[in-house]
């Protein structure tokens, strides 16, 4: 397929205000189309997002304490109970799973035999812009999933979860950057892996990076295993978990904010570049 699939009107030169406005309207139109589809599937979306955190919170923060089994330790009124440690990590997991599922799974269909992707790239928008729209729409779903997970921590754990927002700016920045990283990772997976192998990726990639993503423990506690503490720094979900931990539960040990934000920004650019490049190769090549 040639790059003429995204035409530019003859009346406007590339980069002119009229062309830019056309691109903005086309980008917004794709977002509205995706939102309309999501609105029809909002129930299944909410169930998919909530089920995993719900089970973890129910088993580890409600059932286990009730039967005399508990994780973590109390420190100054219970600020170190396992529910407090777990909440930021579960929000990071929700963001990660939502971002990958929102991009990689649909791409496995759109790049299939029916080539549904051709309908999208026919809009008056550069092909790279279509890829960016997928990342942005995925990021919006990730933010919604994080918002759905947060209230669960107040209703399920048998011991109170101690949340104190140290900086709303840090919280907003981490959620936005983490959502963009997840969308970019989903685009990279969806354009690199063959459609029939997408399910396998969740087993050999997504699950391992989740368990090694400092979801169930702070990164600082890995100092007992130095080689692992440094190895997991290649895992983007580590910075999502640590960033949310720094913003929501600052009493727990966490990475410095500059390190978290810097790593997330770098991850957005690297994964975004890889995902857009793969998208262009699959569509144009």
Digit-coded pLDDT (tens) for 22-65: 888 888 888 888 888 888 877 877 887 788 778 877 887 788 77
* For residue 78, pLDDT beyond 50: no
Q: Is the dihedral of CA 196, 198, 203, 204 positive or negative?
A: positive
pLDDT band for 15, please (50, 70, 90 cuts). Answer: low
Q: Which two tokens stand for residue 66?
A: 């009730």
Q: Which residue has the higher pLDDT, 76 or 42?
A: 42
Q: What is the pTM of this model?
A: 0.84
Q: How far is CA 85 from CA 144, 196, 259, in A?
A: 21, 36, 20
DSSP readout, 54-67?
Answer: HHHHIIIIIIHHHT
Q: Which residue has the higher pLDDT, 57 or 99?
A: 99
CA dihedral 77, 81, 87, 93 (to 10 degrees): 160
User: How many Å apart are CA 87 and CA 229, to the nearest integer?
Assistant: 21
Query: What average pLDDT does this structure show over 237-266?
Result: 93
* Among candidate residues 12, 223, 4, the one with its CA nearest the CA of residue 118: 4
- pLDDT score recorded for residue 243: 95
Q: Which residue has the higher pLDDT, 132 or 197?
A: 132
* For residue 177, pLDDT beyond 60: yes
User: How many Å apart are CA 283 and CA 12, to the nearest integer?
Assistant: 25
User: How many Å apart are CA 37 and CA 48, to the nearest integer?
Assistant: 16
* For residue 247, pLDDT beyond 80: yes
Q: Which of 33-47, 65-79, 110-124 has the highest mean pLDDT?
A: 33-47
């Amino acid at each position: 397929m040639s790059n003429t699939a995204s035409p530019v009107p003859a009346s406007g030169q590339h980069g002119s205000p009229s062309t830019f406005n056309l691109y903005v309207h086309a980008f917004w139109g794709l977002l509205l189309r995706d939102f309309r589809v999501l609105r029809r599937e909002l129930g299944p979306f909410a169930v998919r997002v909530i089920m995993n955190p719900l089970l973890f919170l129910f088993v580890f923060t409600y059932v286990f304490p009730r039967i005399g089994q508990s994780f973590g330790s109390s420190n100054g009124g219970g600020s170190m109970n396992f529910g407090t440690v777990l909440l930021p990590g579960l929000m990071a997991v929700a963001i990660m799973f939502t971002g990958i599922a929102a991009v990689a799974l649909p791409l496995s269909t759109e790049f299939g035999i029916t080539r549904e992707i051709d309908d999208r790239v026919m809009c008056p928008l550069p092909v790279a812009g279509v890829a960016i729209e997928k990342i942005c729409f995925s990021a919006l779903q990730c933010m919604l999933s994080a918002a759905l997970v947060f209230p669960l921590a107040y209703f399920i754990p048998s011991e109170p979860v101690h949340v104190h927002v140290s900086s709303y700016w840090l919280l907003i920045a981490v959620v936005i950057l983490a959502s963009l990283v997840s969308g970019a990772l989903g685009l990279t997976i969806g354009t690199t892996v063959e459609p029939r192998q997408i399910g396998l990726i969740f087993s050999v990639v997504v699950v391992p990076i989740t368990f090694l993503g400092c979801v169930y423990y702070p990164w600082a506690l890995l100092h007992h295993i130095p080689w692992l503490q440094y190895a997991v720094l290649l895992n983007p979900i580590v910075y999502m978990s640590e960033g949310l931990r720094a913003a929501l539960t600052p009493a727990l040990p966490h990475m410095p904010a500059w390190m978290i934000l810097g790593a997330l920004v770098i991850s957005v650019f690297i994964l975004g570049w890889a995902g857009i490049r793969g998208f262009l190769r699959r569509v144009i090549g």
